[in-house]
Amino acid sequence: MRAEQDDAASALLDGLDLDTLLKALTRSRGYEASLRDPPGRRSWSDTIPTSLSFMQLEERVDQLARLLAVNHAQPGATVAILAPLGPEAIVAILASLRAGLSPLMLPLHGNELELLALVEASNAVMALGVGRVGPLRPLMVLRNLAVRAFGTRFVGGFGQDVPDGVAPLDALMASAGLHPLPEQSGRPVLQVVDALSMAGPLTVSERDVLGKSLEISRLLKPLASSRIVTTLVGGDLAALAAGPGMALLTGVELLPLGLFSLGDLQACVAGGRNVHLVLPGAMEPALARSRLAADPSLASVVLVHRPGDGRSLPALDRPDLAIVDIDVRSAAEIDISRR
């Protein structure tokens, strides 16, 4: 049976990529919500919470892809991204791939020396980020890195708080529609970094991401009317597959929580829709003790266990709840199982 499932999954993924999925969702469900900011976002980023429909997401991805193409980078060149795994990072990843470039998700908590080593190892020619994430100032860091990593010739920032020397992406994207996209002979890879050891960059293909997303979605069976709420801010394979990969594969709305309080998390779950919650495995005991664990709208929980995390009690105890464990072996290798 397992061999038959693997064959069926392989056939389903043949010729499929993130761009194809987004365009298909835009045609069939263009006005429905694809990405939604958490209610408390403004408190940690100065950006008013908003949402993007599939049509709006497609438009922003296309605009940014054309803007990146103006730089005439070599096919497969690296674009470093310093942002939580929210709407800006997802737009940047999808736009980089559409422009024939390889996105590299940098860990937000890395210091400048660690990030510089990753940028230089990847030969990044462009860098994209956001103005503020709590006390962190990613765009200031990227500007400093670009001065030291001479190969990085373009730094762009989302939002209003864009410092001097950084291109304001939101303003520039609106006029980028006339720039042609380069022809592609093949899809570029994604690059990921281990958030604990800073090992990397390691490469994963879109097929790797979608294959793992398919594994997770088969265990959860999310309805199109449900919502994925992810608390993961990094961009390794586990985060990409359990968040944006599964959202695009299933057409389910994604709410990337980023930095949060318990109140913000409860607000994301409220509303009566089925919720598939993605959490670090270390947070399971806290969830088990909270009232949120008994919330009837909680349809499933995906727990991401990273090396060195201990499995501690109490564990979630709801027979009606689908619980999926993702064991992270490296930034590019994960194992998925259902309890």
The pLDDT, as a whole number, for residue 9 is 60
The pLDDT, as a whole number, for residue 175 is 84
Would 158 be classed as within a structural domain?
yes
Specify the CATH number for the domain of residue 96.
3.40.50.12780
- Please give the biggest Cα pair distance in the chain: 58
Same-domain check for residues 178 and 216: no
| Phi, psi (degrees; rounded to nearest 5) at 273 | -85, 150
Same-domain check for residues 135 and 216: no
Would 174 be classed as within a structural domain?
yes
Alpha-carbon distance 167 to 172, whole Å? 8
Same-domain check for residues 57 and 182: yes
**How do beta strands 154-158 and 167-168 pair?**
parallel
pTM (predicted TM-score): 0.93
Would 12 be classed as within a structural domain?
no
Domain count, the chain: 2
The pLDDT, as a whole number, for residue 19 is 95
Which residues constitute the domain of residue 211?
A: 206-338
Same-domain check for residues 88 and 25: yes
The pLDDT, as a whole number, for residue 1 is 47
At which of 203, 234, 251 does a domain end? 203
Beta pairing partners, 335? 327
What does each of the 339 residues of the chain score in pLDDT, given as a tens digit? 454 455 556 667 888 899 999 999 999 999 999 999 998 899 899 999 999 999 999 999 999 999 999 988 899 999 999 999 999 999 999 999 999 999 999 999 999 999 999 999 999 999 999 999 999 999 999 999 999 987 899 999 999 889 999 999 999 998 877 778 888 878 999 999 998 899 989 999 999 999 999 999 999 988 888 999 999 999 999 999 999 999 999 999 999 988 777 788 888 888 778 999 999 999 899 899 988 888 889 999 999 999 878 777 788 888 899 999 999 999 999 999 998
Same-domain check for residues 224 and 180: no
The pLDDT, as a whole number, for residue 66 is 94
At which of 203, 238, 254 does a domain end? 203
Same-domain check for residues 238 and 140: no
At which of 153, 188, 203 does a domain end? 203
The pLDDT, as a whole number, for residue 210 is 96
Would 191 be classed as within a structural domain?
yes
Q: Would you mind telling me the total number of residues written for the chain in this entry?
A: 339
